[in-house]
Amino acid sequence: MQSLIFLWICRSVAVPPAAEKEIHIRFRPVFQEQTLVLGQSYELKGQPVRIETLRFYVSQIALIRKGKTVWQEANSYHLVDLAEDTSLFFGLTLPSAIKYDSLHFTLGIDSLTHVSGAMGGDLDPSKGMYWAWQSGYINFKLEGSSPLSTARGHGFQYHLGGYMPPYASARSISLRVPKAEQWTIRVNVGDFLAHTDLAEAHTLMSPGARASALSDRAAAIFSCDEK
Contact residues for other proteins, defined by CB under 8 A: 6, 9-10, 13-14, 16, 73, 76, 86, 89-93, 114-120, 123-136, 138, 159, 164, 167, 205, 208
CA distances from residue 9 to 5, 77, 93 in whole angstroms, order as listed: 6, 28, 21
CA distance 21 to 92: 8
Left (φ > 0), alpha (ψ -120 to 50) or beta: where does 205 sit?
alpha
Q: How far is the CB of 71 from other proteins (least distance, A)?
A: 12
Check residue 137 and report its DSSP letter: B
Measured from the CB atom, the residue of 12 and 33 that comes closer to other proteins is 12
Measured from the CB atom, the residue of 55 and 171 that comes closer to other proteins is 55
Measured from the CB atom, the residue of 124 and 225 that comes closer to other proteins is 124
Measured from the CB atom, the residue of 42 and 158 that comes closer to other proteins is 158
Q: How far is the CB of 194 from other proteins (least distance, A)?
A: 26
Q: How far is the CB of 152 from other proteins (least distance, A)?
A: 13
CA distances from residue 5 to 2, 8, 11, 16 in whole angstroms, order as listed: 5, 5, 10, 19
Q: How far is the CB of 20 from other proteins (least distance, A)?
A: 11
Which residues sit opposite 44 in a β-bridge?
A: 47
Which residues sit opposite 106 in a β-bridge?
A: 59, 172
